C-alpha cells in the first residue's frame, strides 16, 4: 500500500506540473508550442481545405498525432446554411439589423452558434458586414444596412453572441465586396478616408469584439486582389486594427501563393492548389515565403481554436444529422420577425386591425402560394416550415370573420368585388435576391404593382405588406392607407405579420437602408463608373456620401428615410442633456422620452452628429441608438452610449493616417429617424482646453426623487443674500435658474453676482443658500459628469447637496449631508426648454466636473479579542469609495471574532428608485485527523443591480463575522456588504489563528457593492501547523477584485488576482481551491454596457529543493447574456498566472467565471464568452483534459487513503 501511495503521488505531481505549466499559457502560446512540434507537411495540411471531401462547405483534417480536432466550416447569416436540415430558419440579418437592437442581435447570433455547434461546426461563416452601398446589391439581405455605426454595434453583438459558444466567428468579406456584379473580376477603388470611416468600422468592431477569423473577399481593392492585398490585410487589418485571428479566403478567391501568404492570408478554402504543395515549394525551394510566416499562419488558426475551447475537454461534438431546431429557437425566430417589421405608413391609424372584422380580402401570391421568407446563396437556409401570411391571418380572426384570398394572376373584375365589399384589403407582394447576382431594379413585378393599384382603386382601406431583400421603390404608396416592410421573415413569416397586423405586437422596426422615391434617386444612379463599373473599375467617387448621407448632402427627400419606422403609439422627446468630460474626452448624451399614446410600445431613439464645416463630413452621421419600451403614459430618461474621442474624430489620410479630432462647433440631433429629428444641441471643442463651459449656460437643477414621482422640483435660491435654498415648482422665475462657471460656481441667472453658498462650515446639516459671489471655497461645487448625479462641495467628496429629511415637498430646505447616492441627493442640470422641444438655437449644455480628492478620515476602535476596526473614505469626482477594514488575531485553542459596522446617520422609508449591489465572500476550511486531510477553500462573489421602487437611507451597511474553531477543525469567514444606490462600499476584514492542533484557516477580505463604482476585493487565507513526523503545510491565498468606472454609467472594469502556495515534504494532504465569481445585471430599461474582468493567479509549491518556473498569461473573454430585457454586455476576462512547482507538490486551482451564463471550470469542462483561458488546471497543449486531471487527483487520493 505504501508503494502505491508513493507511485500515485509521483504520478499525480508530474501531471499537475504539466497541467499547471500548460494552464498558464495564452491560446497563442499554446498554439506556438504545438507548431514547434509540427513538421512542415503537418503545418501545410492545416492551412488549406480538403478539396470538398467533407460534407461541410469547408474542412481541414485534424492531426491525430498531436490530438488536434478537424475544422468544419459552414455558412450562417440566416441560420445553418449549405443545405443542412433540421435547423431554424431565422429572419435575415437585415431583418435583425432593422430592430436596431444589439440585445436581439446577440440572441440571434448565439442561437445560430448553438445550432452550428450541434451540427459539428467549428467556424460559423458570419456575420456578413459589408455596407449596403448598392441599393440593388444581391447580398444586402445578409448585411446590417447602410450605416457604419449601426453595422459596427451589431457586428460587435453578433461576434460576441457567436463566440459565447465554442464557435469561431468569421467576419466577412474584407473588403469592399459591395456588389455581386462581376465580383470575381472587378476592382473596388476607394480612397483611404472613405475606407476607414465607411467600410472598415464594422470590421474593426469585429476585431475589438474578439472575432477569431476574417474572410477576405473575391474582388480587388484598388486593383490588388483582396486576398493578396498586403495593404488591407497586413497593414490595416492585422497592423492598425490589431487583428490576432486568422484570415481565410472566400471560396476559390483569386490570389497568388507567395503574394497571398506574405500579404497575411492564413487559410485557403476550400482546396489546396495555392497553399498545398505550391506553398511547400515556396518555403523549401525558392524561399520566397519564410517558414516563420507559415508558423504564424498555423499559430493563428490554432490560437483561435484554443480560445474557443475547441481543443479542450470535453471537446465540442456534433453531427450534420443531429436535430438543431428547438421550440426555444422557434419562439426566438418569431420574436425577431415581429421586432423587425417596419411600419412605413399608417394613415388614419388604420392599423392595428380588429380580429372581429366582418370581411378581410387578402391578395397576392406572396400571401400563400409563393411566400418569400429567405434569400438565396450562402444566406439561404432550408426551412423546417414556412407559415404563410394567409394562414397567420386566419388564425387570428374569429369564426365570424370572412377571409377571402385571391392570387396575383386571378385579380380581375370579379375578384375586385371582394375587395370593394370588404372592410379592409391586404395585398402581399414580394421580390427576392441571392448571392452571385444583383437585382435588376428596386421594383416589384409589373403584375404585383398593377394588383396594388387595382385593389386600391376600389378599396380605400388597402394595406400593403412587402417581402423584400432590401430597399424597394413604392410608386403606389400614396394610393394605400398603410405599408409594412417585412423584409425576409424566415419560418415564422405569417405568424409575425398577423401579430403585427392585429396589434398583438406593436411594431418597432426601423429602416436600416433608405427607400428612394424612384430608381434614379440613389447615390450611384446614372453613374456607370460608380456602378456597375467601367472595364471592371468601380469608382467609389461618392466618398463618404453613402445612404442617407447622400440624401442629406444633396437635399433629396427619399420615399422613406433611414431609421424610419412607425408605432401604434406616439412618443414625445424632451430635455436633451449633454455632459462632457474633457480628459479623456467623453460625452454622455441623454434625452427624456414619454409615451403619449394608449399602447405600450418601443421607441428607437437615434443620436446624430454634425461636425464642424472644416471637417468635410456629411451633414450628419449616426452616433447612438437606444431602444426603450414604455407603457402608456410612462416616461424614461434614455442615455446613449458614451462617445469617446474616436467617435467624434475623422480619418486623417494626409498626414498622420490616424484618427484626428477637429476643433470647432459640433451639434447633436436626437429623434426617431434621420429625417425626424426632435431635439438639437450644439457644443464647441476648441482645442487645447476643450470643452469650455459656456458662460451663458442656463438650466434648472432638478431633484431626481421628486422627478421620478412625476413632480418637477428645482432648487430655488431666492433673490436676496442670505436666503436659504429650497425645493420649488419648476417654472422660469427669479432664483430658480442657474449657470455653471468654469470655476465651479453655481451662479444665479437673475443676479450674476449671487452664488449658491454653504452657510457656515462645510459639515453635515449645514444649510445651503444664496450669497454674494466672493470666490470662497464654500461657493464652489463639483457637478457629477453623469446625466443624473451628485453635486458636492469642492474638496469634500463624501458630502453631497441634499434635501432635508430626504424631502420632496415644495419649500423643503437644502443642506449638506454625507453622500448616500440616493435619489434625494441626485440632480439633473436640465435645460430651460424642459416644457417643450429644444431647438438648435438653444444654449449649449456643456458641463465640466473638476476632479478633486477628498482628505482621508479614519476611525479606530479596539474590542475584546484584539479586534481593530479602521474606516477611511476617499472619493474623486463621479465616483466615491468607502473602505472599512477589520482585522483580528488570536492565539488560542479556540477563538471567535464577530464585528458589525454600519455607517448610517439618518433613514428614509420611500423613494422611487434604488439600485442594489451586493457582494459576498465566504471562505471555509475543514480538517480532521493528522494522517491525511482535504481542505476546500472557496471564494464566491455575486453582484446584482436592480431598479426597484423603494430605497432605504443608509449610505453603507456592512456585517462581517469571523469564526475560528480548532475542536471542529473548521473555520468560517463570511462577509456581506449591501448598498442601496451607493457609489462604492468596501470593507476589509482579516483574522489569523495559530494552534498546535490541525490548522484552521483565517481570512482577510474585502467585499464590494457597486452602482457606479470603483471597488476592491482581497482575500488572504493563512494556514500553518507545526511540523509532524510526515507533514508540514503552509497555505497562503490572496485575492483582489477591483472595479473602476468609465464615464458611462453602466461600465465597469474588474480584476481578480489569486495567489496560492503550498509547501509540503510528504503528500499526505490534498488541497482543492476554487474561485467563483458571478455577476448579474438586471436594470429595467438600461443594461450593463461593458464589463471587463481580469484575473491573475499565481500558485507555487516546492519540496526541499526545486527550480521555479514562471509563465505569464493574458487572455480575453467576452460574455453577453440577455434574459427578459436583462443584459450584461461585453464582459471581458483576462487571466494571468505565475507558477512554481516541484515534483512532489500537490496543488490544483479551478476557476469559474460567470457573466450570467458563461462558465469556465478547470475541473470539468471549459466553455467561454468570446475568449476564455482557464488558469491552473487548464488542458495541456496536446489535449490534456482538466476533467481527466481531476479524476486522477481523486483516484490517487482514494488510493492513498
Helix pair angle (102-118, 148-162), 10° resolution = 40
Instruction: Specify whether the CB–CB gap between 232 and 200 falls below 8 A.
Output: no
CA max distance for the chain: 106
Residues 6+ apart with CB under 8 A from 249: 215, 216, 227, 255, 260, 265, 267, 268, 269
Q: CB of 371 within 8 A of CB of 506?
A: no
Q: Is 499 left (phi over 0), alpha (psi -120 to 50) or beta?
A: alpha
Cell of 896: 471567535
What is the phi/psi pair of residue 219, to 5°?
Answer: -70, 170
Beta bridge partners of 1009: 985
Contact 1127, 1088 (CB under 8 A): yes
250 is catalytic: yes
Q: Cα(446)–Cα(452) distance, rounded to whole angstroms?
A: 10
Q: Say which residue the cell 470666490 belongs to.
A: 775
Check residue 342 and give left, alpha or beta (phi > 0: left; psi -120 to 50: alpha). Answer: beta
In this structure, the strands spanning 984-993 and 879-890 are parallel
Q: Which of 999, 997, 998, 1019 is nearest to 1007 (CA)?
A: 1019
- DSSP strand pairing (1090-1102 vs 1126-1140): parallel
Phi, psi of 1036 (to 5 degrees): -135, 125
Q: C-alpha angle with apex 285: 282 to 287, nearest 5 degrees? A: 60
Q: Cβ distance 250 to 269 under 8 Å?
A: yes
DSSP 228: G
Contacts for 707 with CB less than 8 Å, ≥ 6 apart: 713, 828
Start-end of H helices in 384-492: 389-396, 413-421, 446-458
Question: In the structure grid, which three cell numbers stand for residue 693, read together?
Answer: 463651459
Go through 462-492 and write b for each residue having 16 or more CB atoms within 10 A of its CB, e for each that does not.
Answer: bbbbbbbbbbbbbebbeebbbbbbbbbbbbb
For residue 614, CA distances in Å to 543, 603, 618, 665, 684 come to: 16, 34, 11, 10, 13
User: Rounded to 5 degrees, what are φ and ψ at 93?
Assistant: -60, -35
Element (H or E) spanning 496, and its range? helix 493-501
Given the residues 103, 147, 236, 250, the one annotated as active site: 250
Are 366 and 497 in contact by the 8 Å Cβ rule? The answer is: no
Rounded CA separation 956/986 (Å): 9
Which run of H or of E encompasses 1018? strand 1015-1024
CB 409 within 8 Å of CB 346: no
DSSP for 234-268? Answer: IIIIIIIS---SEEEE-TT----HHHHHHHT--BB
3-state SS assignment for residue 234? helix
Distance CA 331, CA 459 (A): 35
SS (H, E, C) 540-607: CCCCCCCCHHHHHHHCCCCCECCCCCECCCCEEEEEEEEEEECCCCEEEEEEEEEECCCCCEEEEEEE
- 53, with CB counted inside 10 A (0-12, 13-18, 19+), is exposed
Which positions are annotated as active-site residues?
250
Amino acid at each position: 500500500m505504501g508503494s502505491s501511495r508513493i507511485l500515485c503521488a509521483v504520478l499525480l505531481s508530474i501531471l499537475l506540473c504539466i497541467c499547471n505549466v500548460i494552464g498558464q499559457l495564452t491560446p497563442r502560446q499554446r498554439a506556438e508550442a504545438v507548431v514547434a512540434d509540427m513538421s512542415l507537411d503537418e503545418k501545410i495540411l492545416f492551412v488549406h481545405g480538403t478539396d470538398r471531401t467533407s460534407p461541410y462547405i469547408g474542412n481541414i483534417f485534424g492531426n491525430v498525432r498531436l490530438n488536434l480536432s478537424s475544422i468544419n466550416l459552414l455558412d450562417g447569416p440566416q441560420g445553418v446554411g449549405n443545405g443542412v436540415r433540421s435547423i431554424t430558419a431565422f429572419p435575415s440579418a437585415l431583418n435583425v439589423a432593422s430592430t436596431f437592437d444589439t440585445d436581439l442581435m446577440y440572441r440571434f447570433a448565439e442561437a445560430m452558434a448553438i445550432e452550428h455547434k450541434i451540427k459539428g461546426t467549428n467556424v460559423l461563416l458570419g456575420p456578413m458586414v459589408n455596407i449596403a452601398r448598392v441599393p440593388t446589391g444581391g447580398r444586402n439581405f445578409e448585411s446590417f444596412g447602410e450605416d457604419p455605426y449601426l453595422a459596427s454595434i451589431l457586428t460587435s453583438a453578433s461576434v460576441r453572441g457567436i463566440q459565447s459558444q465554442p464557435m469561431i466567428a468569421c467576419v466577412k468579406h474584407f473588403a469592399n465586396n459591395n456588389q455581386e456584379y462581376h465580383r470575381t473580376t472587378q476592382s473596388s477603388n476607394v480612397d483611404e478616408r472613405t475606407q476607414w470611416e465607411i467600410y472598415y468600422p464594422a470590421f474593426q468592431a469585429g476585431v475589438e469584439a474578439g472575432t477569431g477569423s476574417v474572410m477576405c473577399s473575391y474582388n480587388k481593392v484598388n486593383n490588388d486582389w483582396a486576398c493578396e492585398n498586403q495593404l488591407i490585410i497586413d497593414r490595416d487589418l492585422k497592423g492598425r486594427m490589431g487583428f490576432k485571428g486568422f484570415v481565410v479566403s472566400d471560396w476559390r478567391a483569386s490570389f497568388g501563393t507567395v503574394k497571398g501568404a506574405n500579404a497575411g492570408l492564413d487559410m485557403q478554402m476550400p482546396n489546396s492548389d495555392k497553399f498545398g504543395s505550391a506553398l511547400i515549394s515556396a518555403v523549401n525551394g525558392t524561399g520566397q515565403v519564410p517558414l516563420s510566416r507559415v508558423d504564424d499562419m498555423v499559430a493563428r488558426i490554432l490560437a483561435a481554436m484554443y480560445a474557443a475551447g475547441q481543443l479542450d475537454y470535453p471537446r465540442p461534438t456534433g453531427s450534420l444529422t443531429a436535430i438543431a431546431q428547438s421550440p426555444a429557437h422557434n419562439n426566438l425566430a418569431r420574436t425577431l420577425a415581429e421586432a423587425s417589421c417596419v411600419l412605413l405608413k399608417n394613415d388614419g391609424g388604420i392599423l392595428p386591425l380588429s380580429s372581429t372584422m366582418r370581411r378581410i380580402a387578402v391578395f397576392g401570391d406572396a400571401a400563400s402560394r409563393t411566400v418569400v421568407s429567405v434569400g438565396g446563396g450562402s444566406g439561404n437556409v432550408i426551412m423546417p416550415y414556412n407559415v404563410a401570411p394567409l394562414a397567420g391571418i386566419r388564425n387570428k380572426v374569429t369564426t365570424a370573420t370572412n377571409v377571402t384570398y385571391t392570387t396575383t394572376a386571378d385579380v380581375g373584375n370579379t375578384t375586385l368585388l371582394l375587395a370593394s365589399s370588404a372592410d379592409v384589403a391586404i395585398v402581399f407582394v414580394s421580390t427576392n435576391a441571392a448571392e452571385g447576382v444583383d437585382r435588376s431594379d428596386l421594383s416589384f413585378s409589373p403584375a404585383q404593382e398593377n394588383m396594388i393599384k387595382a385593389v386600391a382603386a376600389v378599396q380605400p382601406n388597402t394595406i400593403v405588406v412587402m417581402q423584400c431583400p432590401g430597399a424597394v421603390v413604392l410608386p403606389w404608396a400614396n394610393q394605400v392607407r398603410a405599408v409594412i416592410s417585412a423584409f425576409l421573415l424566415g419560418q415564422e413569416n405569417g405568424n409575425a405579420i398577423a401579430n403585427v397586423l392585429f396589434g398583438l405586437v406593436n411594431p418597432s422596426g426601423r429602416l436600416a437602408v433608405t427607400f428612394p422615391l424612384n430608381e434614379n434617386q440613389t447615390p450611384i444612379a446614372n453613374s456607370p463608373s460608380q456602378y456597375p463599373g467601367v472595364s471592371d473599375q468601380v469608382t467609389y467617387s461618392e466618398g463618404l456620401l453613402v445612404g442617407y448621407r447622400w440624401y442629406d448632402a444633396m437635399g433629396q427627400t427619399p420615399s422613406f428615410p433611414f431609421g424610419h419606422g412607425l408605432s401604434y403609439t406616439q412618443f414625445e422627446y424632451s430635455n436633451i442633456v449633454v455632459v462632457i468630460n474633457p480628459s479623456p474626452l467623453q460625452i454622455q448624451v441623454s434625452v427624456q422620452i414619454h409615451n403619449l399614446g394608449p399602447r405600450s410600445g418601443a421607441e428607437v431613439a437615434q443620436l446624430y452628429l454634425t461636425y464642424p464645416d472644416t471637417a468635410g463630413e456629411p451633414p450628419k452621421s449616426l452616433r447612438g441608438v437606444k431602444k426603450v419600451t414604455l407603457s402608456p403614459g410612462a416616461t424614461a430618461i434614455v442615455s446613449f452610449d458614451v462617445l469617446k474621442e474616436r467617435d467624434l474624430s475623422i480619418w486623417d489620410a494626409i498626414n498622420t493616417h490616424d484618427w484626428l479630432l477637429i476643433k470647432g462647433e459640433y451639434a447633436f440631433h436626437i429623434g426617431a429617424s434621420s429625417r425626424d429629428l426632435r431635439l438639437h444641441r450644439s457644443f464647441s471643442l476648441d482645442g487645447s482646453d476643450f470643452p469650455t463651459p459656456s458662460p451663458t449656460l442656463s438650466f434648472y437643477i432638478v431633484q431626481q426623487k421628486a422627478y421620478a414621482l412625476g413632480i418637477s422640483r428645482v432648487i430655488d435660491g431666492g433673490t436676496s443674500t442670505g436666503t436659504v435654498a429650497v425645493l420649488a415648482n419648476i417654472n422660469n422665475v427669479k432664483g430658480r435658474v442657474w449657470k455653471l462657471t468654469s470655476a465651479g460656481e453655481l451662479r444665479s441667472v437673475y443676479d450674476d453676482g449671487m452664488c449658491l453658498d454653504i452657510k457656515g462650515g462645510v459639515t453635515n446639516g449645514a444649510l445651503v443658500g444664496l450669497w454674494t459671489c466672493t470666490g470662497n471655497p464654500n461657493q464652489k461645487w463639483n457637478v457629477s459628469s453623469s446625466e443624473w448625479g451628485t453635486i458636492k462641495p469642492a474638496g469634500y467628496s463624501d458630502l453631497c447637496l441634499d434635501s432635508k429629511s430626504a424631502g420632496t415637498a415644495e419649500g423643503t430646505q437644502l443642506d449638506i449631508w454625507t453622500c448616500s447616492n440616493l435619489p434625494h441627493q441626485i440632480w439633473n442640470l436640465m435645460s430651460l426648454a424642459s416644457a417643450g422641444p429644444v431647438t438648435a438655437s438653444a444654449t449649449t449644455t456643456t458641463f465640466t466636473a473638476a476632479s478633486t480628492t477628498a482628505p482621508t478620515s479614519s476611525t479606530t476602535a479596539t474590542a475584546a479579542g484584539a479586534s481593530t476596526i479602521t474606516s477611511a473614505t476617499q472619493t474623486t469626482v463621479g465616483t466615491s469609495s468607502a473602505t472599512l477594514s477589520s482585522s483580528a488575531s488570536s492565539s488560542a485553542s479556540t477563538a471567535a471574532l464577530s464585528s458589525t459596522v454600519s455607517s448610517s446617520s439618518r433613514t428614509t422609508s420611500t423613494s422611487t428608485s434604488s439600485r442594489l449591489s451586493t457582494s459576498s465572500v465566504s471562505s471555509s476550511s475543514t480538517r480532521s485527523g493528522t494522517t491525511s486531510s482535504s481542505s476546500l477553500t472557496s471564494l464566491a462573489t455575486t453582484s446584482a443591480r436592480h431598479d426597484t421602487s423603494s430605497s432605504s437611507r443608509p449610505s453603507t451597511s456592512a456585517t462581517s463575522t469571523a469564526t475560528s474553531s480548532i475542536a471542529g477543525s473548521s473555520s468560517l469567514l463570511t462577509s456581506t456588504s449591501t448598498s442601496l444606490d451607493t457609489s462604492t462600499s468596501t470593507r476589509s476584514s482579516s483574522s489569523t489563528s495559530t494552534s498546535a492542533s490541525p490548522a484552521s484557516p483565517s481570512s482577510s477580505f474585502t467585499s464590494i457593492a457597486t452602482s457606479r463604482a470603483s471597488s476592491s476585493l482581497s482575500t488572504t487565507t493563512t494556514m500553518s501547523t507545526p511540523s509532524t513526523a510526515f507533514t508540514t503545510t503552509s497555505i497562503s491565498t490572496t485575492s483582489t477584485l477591483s472595479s473602476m468606472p468609465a464615464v458611462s454609467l453602466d461600465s465597469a472594469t474588474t480584476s481578480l488576482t489569486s495567489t496560492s502556495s503550498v509547501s509540503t515534504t510528504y503528500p499526505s494532504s490534498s488541497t482543492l481551491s476554487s474561485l467563483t465569481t458571478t455577476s448579474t445585471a438586471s436594470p429595467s430599461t438600461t443594461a450593463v454596457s461593458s464589463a471587463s474582468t481580469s484575473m491573475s493567479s499565481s500558485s507555487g509549491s516546492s519540496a526541499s529543493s526545486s527550480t521555479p518556473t514562471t509563465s505569464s498569461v493574458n487572455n480575453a473573454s467576452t460574455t453577453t447574456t440577455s434574459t427578459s430585457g436583462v443584459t450584461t454586455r461585453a464582459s471581458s476576462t483576462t487571466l494571468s498566472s505565475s507558477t512554481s512547482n516541484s515534483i512532489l507538490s500537490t496543488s490544483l486551482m479551478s476557476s469559474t467565471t460567470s457573466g450570467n451564463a458563461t462558465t469556465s471550470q478547470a475541473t470539468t469542462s471549459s466553455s467561454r464568452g468570446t475568449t476564455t483561458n482557464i488558469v491552473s488546471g487548464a488542458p495541456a497543449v496536446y489535449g490534456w483534459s482538466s476533467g481527466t486531471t481531476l479524476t486522477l487527483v481523486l483516484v490517487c487520493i482514494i488510493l492513498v487513503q
